[in-house]
Amino acid sequence: MPNPFPRSLMLVLPVAMIATQAGAHTGDGIDTGFASGFWHPILGWDHVVAMVAVGLWAASLGGRAVWALPMVFPLVMVLGGILGVMAVPIPAIETGIALSGVVLGLLVALAVRAPVWAAAGIVGVFAIFHGHAHGTELPQAFSPYGYALGFVVGTGLLHAVGIGIGLLPRSGAGRAAVRGAGAAVALVGAAFLAGVA
């Protein structure tokens, strides 16, 4: 049976190539509350890859990680958003967001095992960057609560997609496909990182 790992990488290369053309932190299109918050992570490739990777890694780790990581990320992301709204400076926000895709993708691709507390710490660090980016660009024209709620719900949906994909494999080929998805995430993150650097 052929190894699906290289094939899955081939499928994602076009996405990685256009990833540098798409930026989720321009502030464009953010003009309503809940709906804008909901669609923003789903339509921004840098968010999609990071959020799906959180779900993939959580599923790969299994046990308590399946619910702990997808809970930690949005909670800490809200904290990062509050820091952004308060204009608390955090250096290298875009670099941190790009690195989240690279690091989380590699953790999945390399099937890295970690205690839940360590995995939650890694996920939480990256959540600060994602939250801060959106807190700083949140317009005053509408309630931040609706936007924040939509953003958390959209993020949770992406985590669920990653968990769903991560729980599918029950064979060697399936596990290789999940690892291939992690490698694809890392490639997209690297493309964003190259655009930020």
Q: Tell whether 76 is covered by a domain.
A: yes
CA dist 21 and 17 (Å) reads: 8
Q: Tell whether 124 is covered by a domain.
A: yes
| Crossing angle of the two packed helices 116-136 and 93-109, in degrees rounded to 10 | 150
Q: Tell whether 23 is covered by a domain.
A: no
Number of structural domains (the chain) is 1
pLDDT digits (tens, 9 = 90+) for 85-126: 888 999 999 999 999 999 999 999 999 999 999 999 999 999
Whole domain around residue 189: which residue ranges? 54-196
Q: Tell whether 32 is covered by a domain.
A: no
Report residue 159's pLDDT band, with 50, 70 and 90 as the boundaries.
Answer: very high
Beta-carbon contacts of 106 under 8 Å, excluding residues fewer than 6 positions away, are 112, 182, 183, 186
Q: Tell whether 100 is covered by a domain.
A: yes
Q: Tell whether 20 is covered by a domain.
A: no
Q: Tell whether 77 is covered by a domain.
A: yes
pLDDT digits (tens, 9 = 90+) for 36-65: 888 888 888 888 899 999 999 999 999 999
Q: Tell whether 31 is covered by a domain.
A: no
